Amino acid sequence: MDKLLRRYLPPIFFHEKGIRSALTIVLIAAIMLVIEYYGWQGPFFRFAKETSFFRFEEKNTVILMAQLYTSTSFALLFFLVPLLFNYFLPIDRKDNSVGLGLPPKGDLLKDYFPLVLIMLPVLWVACSRPSFYQFYPLYKPESLKMLLVYELIYLTQFVSVEFFFRGFGVFRLEKLCPGYGVLLMVIPYSFVHIHKPFGEAVGSIFAGIILGRLALKSNSIWPGVLVHACIALSADLFSLFHSGRLAQMF
């Protein structure tokens, strides 16, 4: 049996550290596939349409439910599953860090704040285009209360996203391939954006590189969570403003 397995599997599978590294990559691929087929708004909408389960609900309400479903599945698949995997199968028993610690003082202002300052005017211009403000936010709130409810549900997913792509993935792959962890995780991260507007999808490549590098530098994902959430919230608010829907809430 061992001889047969060695014929078809890469050598990395046959020593302790190697199998943990190999299983990391397999887990990342498996989670990405499960998310694509079952874990975001698209599969939820298909289920709602095919089963007529939400036939008595307004479309906008179904979108809110879809976001709740997405944030929940992200918390399970992008956060809980890899967190447990990293705990029970660490690549390095002496250093099991995946970026959940707090960053050194000053890193937020020095490294991350300039990113927000650069992105806000870019977002303002991008969100003035119909292709953006008709897309964002996915849920169209009719009141400030529902806007707050939606954003609280929506923004929680960025903790899961940052942990999976800038914490679990980058830190473990960096131990496997020093110097390449950030670049390797840009590939699956860009695929998460494949259903988004093209400009945002392309931007995810550069965002993945920069945020991954900074996460390793600060040994923390939390500043990246704040930046990601700030940019996502700004995109929604700018889109609501340019579409005229924000003014209607007051």
Residue 179 zone, left/alpha/beta (φ > 0; ψ -120 to 50; rest): left
Which tens digits make up the pLDDT trace of 171-226?
Answer: 999 988 889 999 999 999 999 998 887 888 898 999 999 999 999 999 999 999 99
Which tens digits make up the pLDDT trace of 111-165?
Answer: 888 989 999 999 999 899 888 888 888 898 989 999 999 999 999 999 999 999 9
Q: What is the pLDDT of residue 22?
A: 85
Residues 6+ apart with CB under 8 A from 60: 139, 140, 142
Which tens digits make up the pLDDT trace of 90-113?
Answer: 988 788 899 999 888 777 778 888
Q: What is the pLDDT of residue 231?
A: 92
221-225: long-range contacts at Cβ-Cβ below 8 A with a sequence spacing of 24 or more? Answer: 221/99, 221/100, 221/162, 221/163, 221/166, 221/167, 222/102, 222/103, 223/103, 223/107, 223/108, 223/111, 223/112, 224/112, 224/162, 224/166, 225/158, 225/159, 225/162
Answer whether residue 168 shows pLDDT above 90.
yes
Per DSSP, helices labelled H in the chain are: 2-8, 16-38, 41-51, 59-74, 81-88, 107, 113-127, 130-133, 144-155, 157-162, 169-176, 181-192, 198-218, 222-243, 245-248
Answer whether residue 63 shows pLDDT above 80.
yes
The pTM assigned to this predicted structure is 0.90
Closest CA to 185 of 203, 207, 153: 207
